[in-house]
Amino acid sequence: MKKSFSLFILLSAIGLDASAKCIGPKDVPGLITQTYILAVVAAIAFILLAVLSANLIKFQGGSNPKDPGKRRLWFWLLGALSPIAFLLYNLLVVVPELCKGPAASKFSMHPYIGTAILLVLYIIIGLVLSKTMKRAKVGNWFPSKG
C-alpha cells in the first residue's frame, strides 16, 4: 500500500512537471475535487498504516504492560504526520502549478480544508475501529475507562 501511494505521488508530480502550462481558472474545480478525494484516500492510507503498526507491536504480559501505550503513540504520531504530509504535498507540488491571479485565489483555501477533512476522517475512522474492535490491538487507540 505504501509503495502504491508513493508511486501515485511520484507520478502526480511527474505529470504536473510534464505539463509546461499552468493550471487555469477553468481547471480549478476539478483540482478542488481531486484534492478532496486525495484527502479521503490519504486518510484511509494512514489508517491502514496505523492498523499495520498496531498489529506489529506484540502483546506484553504482566501487571503493567507497555504495549497499549506504544500502539496509542503510533496512532497519534501517524495522525500528526498525515495532515503535515498532505499539506506539504499540496503547497509544494500542486499550488506552484497554478496560474497567478484568479486560479490561485480560487484554490487558496482548499489545501487547508482538505487537510482538515483528512485529520477529522483519520480520527473518526480510528475511533470507530477502536470502539468496534475493543479486544483487538487497535482497541488500545481509544481505551474505555470502565
| DSSP codes joined into one string, 118-144 | HHHHHHHHHHHHHHHTTTSGGGGSS--
How many other β-carbons are positioned within 10 Å of the β-carbon of residue 5? 16
Whether 108 and 94 have beta carbons less than 8 Å apart is answered as no
In this prediction, residue 22 has a pLDDT band, given cuts at 50, 70 and 90, of confident
Grid cell of 19 as nine digits: 505539463
Output the pTM of the full model: 0.81
Q: How far apart are CA 126 and CA 72, in angstroms?
A: 11
Q: How far apart are CA 76 and CA 71, in angstroms?
A: 9
Whether 54 and 137 have beta carbons less than 8 Å apart is answered as yes
Q: Would the pLDDT of 17 be above 60?
A: no
3-state secondary structure of 23: strand
pLDDT (average), residues 61-78: 88
How many other β-carbons are positioned within 10 Å of the β-carbon of residue 121? 18
The better pLDDT of the pair 20, 92 is held by 92
Res 54: pLDDT: 93
The better pLDDT of the pair 47, 134 is held by 47
Whether 118 and 125 have beta carbons less than 8 Å apart is answered as no
Whether 32 and 107 have beta carbons less than 8 Å apart is answered as yes
Q: Would the pLDDT of 11 be above 80?
A: no
Res 59: pLDDT: 85
In this prediction, residue 10 has a pLDDT band, given cuts at 50, 70 and 90, of low
Phi-psi region of 21 (alpha: psi -120 to 50; beta: other; left: phi over 0): beta
In this prediction, residue 88 has a pLDDT band, given cuts at 50, 70 and 90, of very high
